[in-house]
Structure 1
Amino acid sequence: MSDTTDEAPATLTPRYIQANGLEFAYLEVPPASGAAEAPLVLVLHGFPDTAWSFAPLLHELAAAGYRAVAPFTRGYAPTEIPEDGDYSLPTLGQDVLALIEHFGADRAFIVGHDWGAVMTYAAAALRPDRVRAIVTAAVPHLRRFLLRPSRAQLAASHYVFKFQLPVWPERRIREDDFAWLVNLARSWSPGWIPDDDYLVPMKANYAEPGRLKAALGYYRAIPAMFFKKVAWQFLLQPTQVPACVIRGEHDGCILDSSFSDSEHLFSAGYEPVRMAGIGHFMNLEAPDAFAKHVLEFLARH
């Protein structure tokens, strides 16, 4: 399909491109200034979200003069499901780099939440020369998170171990109109009640054949990463681009304590932000405050 559409960009109708061997869908809001050379900002969603969860931030970025693009990451509707089932970290990072290339930018800013943050770290590790700066939300540096998890964090990550099972997750998550998944998300953000703007596209994605298996594929690819040379050469090394790392005080998914002792893992500048009283989905719980942190950091770089 073409990357053009007759719909006005403000309607946030998904568009389609080919990148890294897949057809990606994406949402885009062009800069309010109309500048052809506006800086590109890729905004990457996580689990169990879709790109729609970042619609408010896209408009904030565009109003500030950026070209704001939020792809639906591999396997999430309406992006294509990879036939080879490859959800490894190097491939996720290559997806981001291929998207930057498609949109014609020599370098781009990247904002990523949850798995989107993991993809952001991976892209910056593989090609720091293509990344201006990054904002990661709800995930610390991969070396800190994967190699030094506390007992409390391992307990909070119980779902990751359950997702390794071959059949149970697919069956359990679909039961009772995705009640288990909704409750899991709510446990990650105790003060947040998901509304239909969040739940409808999320449920629609997982109702499609193959989409749930695709999302779980991200988690099921984690164990093999520890045996891949590229992880130790690039992904687990200090981040070489300026980084803002945003965390929520009450995050029940990635605990506040898991972000401690991280400054040495960022060699080009590290700006930690702790959002008081906020959980895992800070972009949805406190969208204005989250956008303010993002915009202020990007303006400095």
Structure 2
Amino acid sequence: MANGFGPNRPRRVVYRAVMSVPREGRIDLETVSLSTLEWGPRGGPLALCLHGYPDTAWTWRHLGPALGERGWRVIAPFTRGYAPSSIPSDGSYHIGALMDDAVGIHTAVDADDSAVLIGHDWGSVTSNGLAAHRDSPFGRVVSMAVPPAPAFVPRRSPSELLAVPRLLATQLPRSWYMLFNQLPRVPERSLDRLIPHLWRRWSPGYDAGEDLEHVAAALKSTASRTAALGYYRAALRPFPRPPARYRHWQSALLQAPTVPMLYLHGDDDGCMTPRYADRVQAALPAGSRVARIPRAGHFLHLEQPETVNRLVLDFVGEG
């Protein structure tokens, strides 16, 4: 199938849902203007859905309508720097900035503590941080494909001291792209080839043609490409430090969630080894759930939408 990032060759047939057309919206925050896709009643409780890399708000085209039918007001922003959202005026792509944007949307739509936060990949990193922060306005969190930070840390036992290095040895070859993204200019010029490669490796057999077209549109300009790569550069570089308001949110990044969380991970994930999912439950509070999704890779909510939708709807309930 042709798309904006070159050919993609599927190896298995994947479920395709009949989807409702989303509303398009815009939410202006202090440092960035975010374009959104929305489903469900405007007066319903907020379900905020955050995408990751290399992806867009269209990644929620299966889950968004399902939540909307249950009465949730679903808002899926193109996160900062991904067109048609703006390039942030403060130039920050720190995780604290992503967390601040999520809280800013919650405030902008006058949501309350019944709101749920749903994230995948970088959206998951954002959701994990807010699930652990005492000032988060979200009552429940769904996190996909990237576990909370405590899952990466060895617990106090001899077996754990051996298990974690082994896991790290498995994960490091999958994470090479994070170091590659630190290079100046070269990654921006390589995305036309790199992004289809990552989708193929991370979700083997999934036909990502439609998704790649959306990503190509979101990362058409050099500024947007630099923004998307900026998430990785801000995460691994000590300077520049994030503004104080973002440091406030980032203070919880290494902590365990304190609100109920549903954590989902694809069994065939080629980006983050699914063995980390087996370590998540011990870090979660009462009322939380963990599930590994068979026949799904990194983009599990697109590959197995019926299964993921059911688990999410069972967890969050009616809007």
Interval containing the TM-score (normalised by the shorter chain): 0.7 to 0.9
CA distance in 2, matches of 1:265, 1:224: 27
Pairing partner for 1:123 from 105, 122, 130? 130
- What residue number does 1:186 align with? 200
Query: In structure 2, what is the equivalent of residue 80 of structure 1?
Result: 86
Partner of 1:217: 230
Aligned residues: 283
Alignment map for 1:14-29 (pairs within 5 Å): 14-29=24-39
- Separation in 2 of the partners of 1:233 and 1:274? 29
Q: CA deviation at 1:170?
A: 1.1
Match of 1:94 in 2: 100
Measured after TM superposition, the shift of residue 261 of structure 1 is 2.3
Equivalent in 217, 226, 237 of residue 204 of structure 1 = 217
Residue identity in the other structure for 2:22: L
What is the letter of the counterpart of residue 85 of structure 1? G
Unaligned runs of 5+ in 1: 1-9
Following TM superposition, by how much is the alpha carbon of 1:184 offset from its aligned partner in structure 2, in angstroms?
1.2
Partner of 1:41: 47
- Percent identity over the alignment? 35
Is 2:28 the partner of 1:12?
no
Provide the C-alpha distance between the structure 2 equivalents of 1:232 and 1:19, rounded to a whole number of angstroms: 19
Listed one character per residue, the Cα deviations across residues 112-157 of structure 1 (whole Å, up to 9, x for unaligned) are 1111111112223334551110111101112434886611111111
Partner Cα distance (2:189, 2:193) in 1: 12
Q: Deviations over 1:270-296 (max 9, x none)?
A: 311100121001111111111111101
- Structure 2 stretches lacking a partner, 5+ long: 1-19, 155-163
Code of the aligned partner of 1:130: P
TM-score (norm 2): 0.82
CA contact (8 A) 2:219 2:225 kept: yes
* Secondary structure in 1 matching 2:141: strand
Instruction: Note if contact 1:112-1:120 (Cα within 8 Å) is conserved in structure 2.
Output: yes
What is the TM-score with the length of structure 1 in the denominator? 0.87
Q: Aligned ranges for residues 225-244 of structure 1 at < 5 Å?
A: 233-244=251-262
Aligned partner of residue 217 in structure 1, secondary structure: helix
2:66 corresponds to 1:53: no
Larger RCO: 1 or 2 (CA < 8 Å, sep 6+): 2
Whether the 8 Å contact between 1:89 and 1:119 is mirrored in structure 2 is: yes
Deviation at 1:214, TM superposition (A): 0.3
Q: Distance in 2 between matches of 1:112 and 1:187?
A: 21
1:259 is aligned to 277
